[in-house]
Structure 1
Amino acid sequence: MSVSQAVGAAGSDSGSEFRRGVASCVPVLLGTIPYALVLGAQATQKGLSAVELPMMTGLNFAGGSEFAAIQLWTSPPHILLIVAITFLVNSRHLLMGAALAPFLRELPRRKVFTALFFMCDESWALGLADAKQRATAGVKPAFSSRYYMGAALAMYLAWVAFTTLGALLGPMLGDIEIYGFDMAFPAVFLVLMRGMWKGAAAARPWLVSLVVAALVYLFVPGAWYVAAGAVSGLLAAWLMAGDA
């Protein structure tokens, strides 16, 4: 069966589309479990309870900003500082949402808001790649909301569950970073980048973003490197668009 036939067959049944989203998410989801446990363990060391942590991870579904918030957590917490850093770390979501926007135009607003609430790096990458594949194969609509929500909900539930489990097990496990669990975070993103790879020429904005983010990280305190990397990558993609 060809790619277009496979996608079209999957798109004919909403239930199978949802299951397809869950299935495609499983390999990436397994990679998020270790650093979900790390976040939960770190949160308990900062004084958060096993009730407070799932409230944080459930309402602010963005792992990078949660790690940043936990690192800055004090008693009492510096709310304005944490809010500012959270905005900087999550600023990449502005670009992610913009990339997904053309595929969301035909959806009702309530579905768009739901999709954007559950959007994380992994569900965004899977949903965008699937939409582009369906568009190339001529399948309409290109964006499968059922597929996307299958992946997004699987990520959401696993993230909340395993950060909570990490909070419960944290006191018994101690510093679980010594087991190398923190390497799962960059490993997942390398896998996602590999799935979006379209050749060296198309990856030039990635390189610009990487270099700028690394330089800002080395010389500018705080999380400004996230916004700098995102903006420089966007500008590089715009400037290089004519060369493609």
Structure 2
Amino acid sequence: MSISEIALAEGQSTDGRGGEFRRGLAASTPVLLGIIPYALVLGAQAAQKGLSVAEVPLMTGLNFAGGSEFAAIQLWTSPPHILLIAAITFLVNSRHFLMGAALAPFINHLPKRQVFPALFLMCDESWAVGLADARRRADAGMRPAFSPAFYLGAALPFYLAWVAFTTCGAALDPVLGDVETYGFALAFPAVFLVLLRGMWTGFAAARPWLVSLAVAALTYLVVPGAWYVAAGALSGLVAAWFLAGER
């Protein structure tokens, strides 16, 4: 079977980069709609902590890592504890080491001018969509397995929506009040449960996630403050390292 026939059998577009971009956009749209509520929550929380409508898109656009931004806002004081926030941000974002390593075999043939923007746009959602597509293409015998245009179509809308709706959350905070009363905060775990289901390969591979969840929950119950974030991130990384050594 030719690559074109495989692509058609997979329901994939064969009309060049534009078709691949649209395919990536279509694949990411269901998850994209799910990030809007918790983008509004983050923007509103940032406004309540004193960040201006101009400062919120700077934070979300330059950092672009939702989990660490939520952690940073929870720790935000006046004046802010810069070193603590930086350390927590590093720990929460350290999962990107593993995410990048999983993506590396599919992008190591690309020039750096494509790799660096792809890694900047990499968030949990775009990484999951892009990696799943690359694996499907590899299993179908398509080379190269990684489609930069598909990935751009999947990743860029996440970036634009995240910056736009966190800004909207900050701007609308005086009108909406506490947006968590609308149940928007539920969107954050809901999106990750969907991603987790799509990446599920069995209990053995999920053990680091379960270790991280258990340690974070226990720390949340017994230690004041936001140390559960650091505890969950570190325990997950350590568990992944030890369990990888077993294999």
Mapping for residues 129-148 of structure 1, pairs under 5 Å: 129-148=132-151
Q: 1:154 aligns with which of 151, 154, 157?
A: 157
Aligned counterpart, 2:26: 23
- What code does the residue aligned with 1:43 have? A
Q: 1:101 aligns with which of 89, 98, 104?
A: 104
Count of paired positions: 240
- 1:4–1:138 contact (8 Å) kept in structure 2: no
Q: 1:187 aligns with which of 186, 190, 207?
A: 190
Identity %: 69
- What code does the residue aligned with 2:109 have? E
- For 2:14 and 2:120, the matched residues in 1 are separated by 23
Q: How far is the alpha carbon of 1:193 from its aligned partner?
A: 1.1
Q: How far is the alpha carbon of 1:219 from its aligned partner?
A: 5.2
Bigger shift: residues 207-216 or 145-154: 207-216
Q: TM-score, normalised by structure 1?
A: 0.90
Which digits, 9 at most, give the CA deviation of each residue in 1:47-101, with x for residues without a partner? 1111000011000000011111111112222211111111011111111111111
- What code does the residue aligned with 2:183 have? G
Which digits, 9 at most, give the CA deviation of each residue in 1:120-146, with x for residues without a partner? 000000011000000000011011111
2:60 is aligned with 1:77: no
Q: CA separation of 1:16/1:22 partners in 2, compared to 1, >3 Å: closer, same or farther? A: same
2:234 is aligned with 1:227: yes
- What code does the residue aligned with 1:90 have? N
Q: CA separation of 1:12/1:238 partners in 2, compared to 1, >3 Å: closer, same or farther? A: farther
- 1:46–1:70 contact (8 Å) kept in structure 2: yes
- 1:213–1:229 contact (8 Å) kept in structure 2: no
Bigger shift: residues 71-80 or 201-210: 201-210
Which digits, 9 at most, give the CA deviation of each residue in 1:185-243, with x for residues without a partner? 0100110111112344544454344434444555566122112113313432442x4xx
Q: TM-score, normalised by structure 2?
A: 0.89
Q: CA separation of 1:212/1:105 partners in 2, compared to 1, >3 Å: closer, same or farther? A: same
Aligned counterpart, 1:63: 66
Bigger shift: residues 41-50 or 9-18: 9-18
- For 1:169 and 1:118, the matched residues in 2 are separated by 26
Give the alignment's Cα RMSD to 1 decimal: 2.1
Aligned counterpart, 1:112: 115
Give structure 2 stretches of 5+ with no counterpart: none
SS of the residue 2:37 aligns to: helix
Q: CA separation of 1:5/1:235 partners in 2, compared to 1, >3 Å: closer, same or farther? A: farther
Aligned counterpart, 1:169: 172
- 2:38–2:184 contact (8 Å) kept in structure 1: yes
- 1:21–1:147 contact (8 Å) kept in structure 2: yes
Aligned counterpart, 2:47: 44
